[in-house]
A and B are shown apart, each in its own frame.
Chain A
Amino acid sequence: MPKVVHSKIRELESKARVIRRHIVEMTSRAASGHPGGSLSCADILTVLYFHKMRHDPKHPEWPDRDRFVLSKGHAAPALYAVLAESGYFPVAYLKTLRQIGSSLQGHPDMLSLPGIEMTTGSLGQGLSAAVGICLGGRIDKKKFRVYAVVGDGESQEGQIWEAAMSAGHHKVDNLTVILDHNKLQIDGKVEDIKGVQPIADKWRAFRWNVIENVNGHDVSALIGALDKAEKNSGSPSIIIAETVKGKGVSFMEWNNSFHGKAPSKEELERAIKELE
C-alpha cells in the first residue's frame, strides 16, 4: 500500500475542519438542517473528495469520473461543503442553503447542482441507485468506482437490505459503501429505537466484503480502508466507520438533539472557536 505522506494527512485534516466550519455556519444561517449527521461524515467526505475519488469539478459530466451518492441525504450540508471547496460552485454560495430559489436544497437535488450524482433524501433509495450506477458502469466496461455513504439509522429502511442483496448477488465490486456509524437517530440511540446490531454480520450475510472497526474520524485509517475496499474483487465492500454524531463541536457530540436542529447564533460562535 503506497504510504500517504504526512503532509497530505495534515492537509486533509485541516480541510475537514474547514468543511465542519461550513456545516455549522450554513445550518446556523439557515436556522435548519442536519448538522449532527453532517459532522459525523465530514472526514469521510473530505477523504473521498480531496484524496480518493477521481473527479473533475471543471467537467462534472466526465464519463469516467468516480461517483458519490449520499444515501443519507440529510447530510447535504457536508456534501455541499466538499463540492464548494472542490470548486463545483463558489464557496460563498453555501450561504444560500435551504433558501428559496437556491440550488442548495434541503436534500441533494441532482438537477439543480453540478456534482450531485443522485437526488437523495428519502432514506434507502440512494443505495439502490448506487448499485444501478455500478451496473451501468459494468455494461459499458467503465473503470469508475461508486461510493455511497449510508447511515445507521437509515439501515432500518427495508430498501437498504433490498439494495444490499442486489449488490451482493450481482457482485458489484466497483462499489464501496461507507456506513456512518454514529449510533444516534432523531428519537434517540439507534440501539434503543430499533437495534441494527450486529451490523457487520448483517452485511457479511448479504455477501459483502466488510471492513470493520475503522475510525471514521481518522484520515489515515479511512484512506487505508478505502484502498483495501478498492482491491477487493467479486463482492461489494462496506467500511463500517465508527463515528461520533456532531463530531468536532464539544456540545454537539453524542447529542441527538442536533440531528435536525441548527446551532443558534451563540452556539455557532462557540462551535467556530472550537473548529479553528
Chain B
Amino acid sequence: MAEVKMDSTRDVYGKTLVELGKKNPNIVVLDADLSVSTKTSLFAKQFPERFFDVGVAEQDMISLAAGLATTGKVVFASTFAVFATGRAWEQVRASVAYPRLNVKIVATHGGITTGEDGVTHQATEDIAIMRVLPNITVVVPCDSIETAKAIEAVASAYGPAYVRLSRPKTPVLNSSDYQFKIGKGVVMAPGKDLTIVATGIMVAAALEAKETLQKEGINARVVNMHTIKPLDNELLVQCARETGGIITAEEHSVLGGLGGAVAEVLAENHPTPLLRVGQRDIFAESGKPAELLEKYGMTASDIVRAAKELVERKAS
C-alpha cells in the first residue's frame, strides 16, 4: 500500500470551529473540562466570550447548551463520547432531541481506540443510544477531511446532531475537493461480489480488506456510511440488490449501531445475507489502540474473514 497521510480528526474539529466562529457570531462552544483533548481549546483561545467550560458536569453542559440554543445560538458541546452520550443521555433526549434544539454534540474519543484509559472511557454504545432518539442526526466521519466537511454541514443544518470523532490520528482517505452530504453514503470502491458498509475508522480497514480480497478473487464494494441517521436506505438496498451480501464494519458494539441499523433496513426492504464486524457483546480493556482493534476483532483481516464467510454462505 502506498504511504498514507495520517491526520487527527479532533485537531481538524478544533480548527474548523475557529473558522466557523469567524464567519458566524452565533457559534457558541461548550466543553466539560476536556477542551485540550477535544481541541475546543482552539476556539476558546480565539473567542473567549463565546466559550464556556462547564467543568466536569456533562449533564449540565447538555441542558445548558439547549438553553443557549433557545436564544438563537448554534451550540457545539464537546467532551469524550462516552460521557457526552451516556452520562448525559437523558439530557440529550429531553433537553435537546425532544425540543429539537440547535445543539451539536461533537464528541472525541469514540470507540475502542481511546485505548489505555480502558473501558470507562471507551464509547462502544454511543451510536446505538444516539440513533434511537428522534430528531437527531448521527455522523461518524472516516477521516480529517470528512470531519471538516461534516462539522460545516451540521453547523448549517438546523437541529440536533451527534458527531463522533476519534482519539488517534487516522488515515486520510478523501481528497480536499470531497463533497459531503448528510445522509448520503459514498461508494469508495466499486465491486460486485459483496458490499462492505463501513463507518468511521473502519472505512480505511474496509479499503485495506478490499485489496486483500481482490487478490483472492473476491471483488468487494466499499461504502463509507458516514451518516448513521438518517441512514442512506436507498444506497443500502441498491448494494444489497447488486452484490447480494453485506458486511458492516464499525468501531462500536455490533448491537444497535451501524450493524443494527443496516440489519433493520435490509430485513424490512431486501433480506440479504449480512455479517457484522464490530465489538462483540463484551467490554474490552486497556491497551494500545492497534492491539485492542486486533484483540477485539475490528481490523481489515476481520473484515476479510467475514467476507469469505459471506461469499461461502451465498454459494451454499
A residues with CB within 8 A of B: 67, 69, 109-111, 117-122, 124-137, 139-140, 158-159, 162-163, 165-166, 169-170
Contacts and interface: CB of A to CB of B under 8 A. Distances in A.
B191 interface: no
B70 A118 contact: yes
Contact of A166 (B50, B57, B70): B57
Contacts of B316: none
Contacts of A125: 59, 63, 66, 91, 94-95
Contact of B94 (A69, A111, A119): A119
Given A165-B55, A166-B55, 12 more contacts: A110-B99, A117-B70, A118-B95, A122-B90, A125-B91, A129-B95, A132-B63, A134-B67, A135-B52, A136-B72, A139-B28, A162-B60
B57 A129 contact: no
Nearest to A120: B94
A133 B65 CA distance: 9
A139 B63 contact: no
A129 B68 CA distance: 7
Given A118-B70, A139-B73, A128 B60 contact: yes
B98 interface: yes
Nearest to B64: A132
A64 to B, nearest CB: 11
Nearest to A73: B94
A124 B66 CA distance: 13
B169 interface: no
B71 interface: yes
B99 to A, nearest CB: 4
Contacts of A119: 94-95, 98-99
A131 B59 contact: no
Majority-rule SS of A interface residues: helix
Contacts of A120: 94
Nearest to B65: A132
B98 A139 contact: no
B99 A118 contact: yes
Given A165-B55, A166-B54, A128 B95 contact: yes
Contacts of B50: 139
B81 to A, nearest CB: 20
B270 interface: no
A203 to B, nearest CB: 16
B184 interface: no
B242 to A, nearest CB: 41
Nearest to A117: B70
A126 B99 CA distance: 12
A120 B96 CA distance: 11
A129 B99 CA distance: 12
Contacts of B59: 124-125, 128, 158-159, 162
A132 B57 contact: no
B100 A111 contact: yes
B64 A128 contact: yes
A120 B57 CA distance: 19
Interface in B73-96: 73, 75, 90-91, 93-95
Contacts of A133: 67-68, 70-71
B71 A129 contact: no
A102 B51 CA distance: 38
B112 to A, nearest CB: 29
A170 B52 contact: yes
Closest 9 A/B residue pairs (Cβ): A132-B67, A136-B71, A128-B63, A129-B67, A162-B60, A132-B64, A119-B99, A162-B57, A132-B68
